Structure formats: structure tokens, C-alpha cells
């Protein structure tokens, strides 16, 4: 639905607001979807239109858009102590409790937490920690950061440099010393005749060779999402983390798991590193951490990095870093509630992670059905995150010509049917809220299938 009058919400949005990551000609043509509220996994626009949000907002609104327990936790903390910082040896009681909880539910036997307002800032913070450690420990040359092509780590200058996407070249990024390795996507990156095991071995060798060429003493860390999210929902090839983790360990290079999407249940395990059975040296968390009810990120350091950062900070007297709202008491109270809901549930719902596990096979069955479509080349995913990749020719994996904007057409057609899903490259990404029911899941796939049929029929007619 779109109101074309000059003073409409659509016109007002375009007049005074910039958009993030938005195809502007398409918004100009279709109009901004201006939203007012939500119910469960649905959001509503200013005209009363209802959309099932198959992307949980931006992966993060896992408890849905009107969870009473989440709102109550926020309100109670606003009433009690609406804001404070975590500088100069002060910190709210909520922040103390949240750090205890994060270390308790982390894969680490002990550790320490540093707070930010976003995932980007958490990645920047982690890089500054690694650089700080290098300087404090007498290895000032230890500054290079390894990530993978298609990896998404955020938009601040450092986290954008870590992000392996071509669009960052418009900013003159990446900065020097940010090195992007091959994306572990076997379907797209595997060579003719190469088995998945051989592909994984080739990527491990690339890592070895890169470390040898750059010099292990110059590399500060390796960052990886367990399942790539904004790269198009790309699970690692079989045995990937088991192949690379020992190489990093041998060269003393910390492995940082960017769990901003995977963390807190998205893949079915509490952490992506749990689902894929590897032990990182630190975890980056955001998005699900507050179920999207507050902007917050966290760096969770395992025992070794905690001890080293503690020693380095004591030697220099402080770790000179922090954001005004780091460890915000309301954010901390909200995160405590979100974690409790995800892991334990409350009077309104059972543990949300249990629902993720219950819904995953149903999600996979629907995906498999759509995967039979002649123009769906690959279906992939883990837990309640998945992608369907559109192709012009299934046998040769030939993509559609870029100027057809196939995934955008599919997503726009879905929006017309009351379903929000996200085009990413030539794929459609689905990551519904953890509260989704079986019938809402059926509705999601029914609407998506209708859109796929309409768009592909239109292209091949
Ligand atoms: C979203 C995301 C980020 C960035 O988080 P922001 O809060 O948008 O800054 C970092 N890493 C991953 C894996 C993400 O999905």
C-alpha cells in the first residue's frame, strides 16, 4: 500500500531521512514502508498493512515485537535507574549481573566482558584490544587482521575493513593490514571435481600459506562468523573450523567468533561455536543479546585473553577505551531478561531456544520443498537461518543477469503479499523470530512460494 499525497508518511520519510543499505530508486518507486508497531512476528505499517517479518527485523527481534516480559524488564529498570556509565571504576548492579551471566553461559570456564552499543563497535573494540596487547607485550608489529570474503563484521572503519564485501571500496576501505581469505562456501567456491573435504583442505592450506607469507608475528587475530549471515547465510564447509583452529593455535593467532547473529540460539546451539564444535579465544555478541530491545554489544574474552588484557591494562594503568553508554543499566537488564527468555523461558513462553530446535526440522522441510524449484540453485542454512539462491540455470549454477535484480523482485513481491524477507546477492534470506509457530512458518513459505512462482514465471514467459 502506498499513499502518493505530498504530506504522506512515504513522502515525509524521503524528504528528511537517509536510509541505510537501501536501493534508492526502488524506494522512490515503491515508497518507504513506515511501521508503527508489532505483534508476535508481525509488524504493521501506517496504513494498517500487516507483514510477517521473516527476518526478525535485522536478525535480532528474536522474541517478537511485543513480548510483555521484555517490555516489563525495560520499564522496571527505567523506573529504578535509567542510565549510567561503566567508566572510572563505576558500574551498575545490572551490568555486574550481566557479565556474570555472559561468562556463565559462554563456552569459557572463566572470562571477562566489555560492553559496546553495537556489533560493529564490539569488533572494533576487540581489534583495539589485540593491538593494545601487541603494544603492551612488545610486539608492535602484530596488527594484521584476517577475515573471509563475504564475512560481515559491521560498518565502522575497522569493522568495515574486516567485512569482506566489495561495496566498501567506495570508502577507500579496507585499511591496510586487513586480509580477506576465501569464503568457505563449497557450492559456489568449490572447483570442478573437488570434494568438500578437498575444498576445506585447500582453504586450510590458504590460511597456512597466508600466515607464512605475511609472517605470524604480524598477525593479531582471525575473525569468523560461525555461519556467515549478511554474506548470504553461508554455513562453513564440512570440517572447516576443525581444519583452521589448530593452524591458528600453532601460530599463536587468536580465533575470534563473531557470534552477533549466531549467538543465543539462532543455529540451535547457544553459540555457533557450540553448533560447529570449536573453541574460540573470544566471542563478539550483539543483536540477539537484547533480543533487539536495546542497542548493545559485548566482547566476551576467554581465560587467556582476559588474563593478558588484565595484565596489559594494569601495566599501563588503564585500558583507554569505552563508550558513554557501555554497560548501560537498562540495556543490561534487558539483556538479562532476553538471555533468560531464550535459555529458560517465562510464564508467557517456554525457552525460546527449545522452539528454535522444534521448528528447525519444519523450516528445513519447507526449504527442501522450495529447493526443488528449477530456478533455486541451492538451499542452505542452520537452525532458523536459511537462504535460497536463485539461478537462471540450475545445472551450471549460472546466476541471473544482475540487471534483472531477481532477489529484489522476489522480496518486493513478498512485501506485496505481506511477507518481509531480505534479498542478498541473488539469494533470499530467512531468519524468523524464535517465537514463530508452525502455522506462521507455513504462512511464510506459502507467501514466499507464491512470490517465487510469480517472479520466475514473469522472467521465463
Ligand atoms: C550485524 C552484524 C555486525 C554489526 O553489528 P551492528 O550492531 O550493526 O554494528 C557484526 N557482525 C555480524 C556477524 C553481524 O551480523
SS3 call for 223? strand
Take residue 114 and report the three cell numbers written for it: 566489555
Substitution site in 124, 164, 236, 260 for ligand 1 pocket (most atoms within 8 Å of beta carbon):
260
Q: Is the full-model pTM beyond 0.85? A: yes
Task: Output the CA 101–ligand 1 centroid distance in Å.
Answer: 22
Substitution site in 58, 62, 164, 230 for ligand 1 pocket (most atoms within 8 Å of beta carbon):
230
- Identify which of 222, 203, 211 has the alpha carbon closest to the alpha carbon of residue 284: 222
- Residue 258 Cα: closest atom of ligand 1: 13
Domains of the chain: 33-66+351-460 (3.90.1150.10), 70-343 (3.40.640.10)
Q: Which residues contact 413 (CB under 8 A, 6 or more apart)?
A: 450, 451, 454, 455
Task: Output the CA 125–ligand 1 centroid distance in Å.
Answer: 13
Other Cβ atoms less than 10 A from the Cβ of 118: the count is 19
Task: Output the CA 61–ligand 1 centroid distance in Å.
Answer: 14
- Residue 297 Cα: closest atom of ligand 1: 7
Kindly give the interhelix angle for 329-343 and 93-105, rounded to the nearest 10 degrees. 30
Given phi > 0 = left and psi -120 to 50 = alpha, else beta, which region is 150? left
The DSSP H or E segment spanning 21 is none
Q: What is the pLDDT of residues 45-88, one digit of tens each?
A: 999 999 999 999 999 999 999 999 999 999 999 999 999 999 99
Q: Which residue has the cell 521484555?
A: 70
Task: Output the CA 295–ligand 1 centroid distance in Å.
Answer: 11
User: What CA–CA distance (Å, rounded) separates 223 from 130?
Assistant: 12
268 touches 226 (CB < 8 A): no
Take residue 86 and report the three cell numbers written for it: 561503566
Nearest CA to ligand 1 atom 5: 119
HSE-CB for 361 with a 13 A CA cutoff: 2
Task: Output the CA 85–ligand 1 centroid distance in Å.
Answer: 22
Pocket of ligand 1 (CB under 6 A): 118-120, 123, 152-154, 225, 229-230, 258, 260-261, 286-287
Task: Output the CA 337–ligand 1 centroid distance in Å.
Answer: 21
Encode the chain (461 residues) as per-residue pLDDT tens digits.
Answer: 577 788 999 999 999 999 999 988 888 899 999 999 999 999 999 999 999 999 999 999 999 999 999 999 999 999 999 999 999 999 999 999 999 999 999 999 999 999 999 999 999 999 999 999 999 999 999 999 999 999 999 999 999 999 999 999 999 999 999 999 999 999 999 999 999 999 999 999 999 999 999 999 999 999 999 999 999 999 999 999 999 999 999 999 999 999 999 999 999 999 999 999 999 999 999 999 999 999 999 999 999 999 999 999 999 999 999 999 999 999 999 999 999 999 999 987 899 999 999 999 999 999 999 999 999 999 999 999 999 999 999 999 999 999 999 999 999 999 999 999 999 999 999 999 999 999 999 999 999 999 999 999 999 87
Nearest CA to ligand 1 atom 11: 153
382 touches 419 (CB < 8 A): no
Task: Output the CA 169–ligand 1 centroid distance in Å.
Answer: 19
CA distances from 442 to 4, 367, 381, 452 (A): 33, 11, 18, 15
Amino acid at each position: 500500500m502506498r499513499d502518493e499525497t505530498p504530506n504522506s508518511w512515504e513522502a515525509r520519510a524521503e524528504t528528511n531521512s537517509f536510509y541505510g543499505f537501501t536501493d534508492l530508486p526502488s524506494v522512490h518507486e515503491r515508497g518507504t514502508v513506515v511501521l508503527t508497531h508489532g505483534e508476535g512476528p508481525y509488524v504493521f505499517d501506517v496504513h494498517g498493512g500487516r507483514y510477517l517479518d521473516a527476518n526478525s527485523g535485522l536478525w535480532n527481534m528474536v522474541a517478537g515485537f511485543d513480548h510483555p516480559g521484555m517490555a516489563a524488564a525495560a520499564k522496571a529498570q527505567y523506573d529504578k535507574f535509567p542510565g549510567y556509565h561503566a567508566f572510572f571504576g563505576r558500574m551498575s548492579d545490572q551490568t555486574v549481573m550481566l557479565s556474570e551471566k555472559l561468562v556463565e553461559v559462554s563456552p569459557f570456564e572463566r572470562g571477562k566482558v566489555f560492553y559496546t552499543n553495537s556489533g560493529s563497535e564490539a569488533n572494533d573494540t576487540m581489534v583495539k584490544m589485540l593491538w593494545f596487547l601487541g603494544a603492551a607485550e612488545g610486539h608492535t608489529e602484530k596488527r594484521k587482521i584476517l577475515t573471509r570474503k563475504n564475512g560481515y563484521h559491521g560498518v565502522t572503519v575497522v569493522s568495515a575493513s574486516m567485512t569482506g564485501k566489495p561495496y566498501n571500496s567506495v570508502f577507500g576501505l579496507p585499511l591496510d593490514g586487513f586480509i580477506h581469505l576465501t569464503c568457505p562456501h563449497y557450492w559456489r567456491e568449490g572447483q570442478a571435481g573437488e570434494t568438500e573435504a578437498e575444498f576445506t583442505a585447500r582453504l586450510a592450506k590458504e590460511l597456512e600459506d597466508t600466515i607464512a607469507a605475511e609472517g605470524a608475528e604480524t598477525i593479531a587475530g582471525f575473525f569468523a562468523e560461525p555461519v556467515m549471515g549478511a554474506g548470504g547465510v553461508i554455513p562453513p564447509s564440512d570440517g572447516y573450523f576443525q581444519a583452521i583452529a589448530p593452524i591458528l593455535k600453532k601460530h599463536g593467532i587468536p580465533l575470534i567468533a563473531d557470534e552477533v547473529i549466531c549467538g543465543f540460539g539462532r543455529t540451535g546451539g547457544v553459540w555457533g561455536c557450540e553448533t560447529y564444535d570449536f573453541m574460540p579465544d573470544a566471542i563478539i555478541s550483539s543483536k540477539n543479546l537484547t533480543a533487539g530491545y536495546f542497542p548493545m554489544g559485548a566482547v566476551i574474552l576467554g581465560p587467556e585473553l582476559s588474563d593478558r588484557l588484565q595484565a596489559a591494562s594494569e601495566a599501563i594503568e588503564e585500558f583507554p577505551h569505552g563508550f558513554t553508554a557501555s554497560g548501560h543499566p537498562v540495556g543490561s537488564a534487558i539483556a538479562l531478561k532476553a538471555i533468560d527468555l531464550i535459555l529458560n523461558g517465562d510464564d508467557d513462553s517456554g525457552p525460546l531456544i527449545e522452539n528454535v530446535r522444534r521448528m528447525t526440522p519444519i523450516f528445513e522441510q519447507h526449504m527442501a520443498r522450495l529447493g526443488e524449484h528449477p530456478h533455486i540453485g541451492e538451499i542452505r542454512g542452520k537452525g532458523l537461518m536459511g537462504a535460497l539462491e536463485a539461478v537462471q540455470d540450475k545445472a551450471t549454477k549460472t546466476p541471473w543477469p544482475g540487471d534483472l535484480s531477481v532477489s529484489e523482485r522476489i522480496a518486493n513481491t513478498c512485501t506485496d503479499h505481506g511477507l518481509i524477507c531480505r534479498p542478498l546477492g541473488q539469494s533470499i534470506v530467512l531468519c524468523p523470530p524464535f517465537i514463530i509457530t508452525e502455522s506462521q512458518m507455513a504462512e511464510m513459505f506459502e507467501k514466499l512460494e507464491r512470490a517465487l512462482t510469480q517472479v520466475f514465471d514473469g522472467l521465463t514467459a
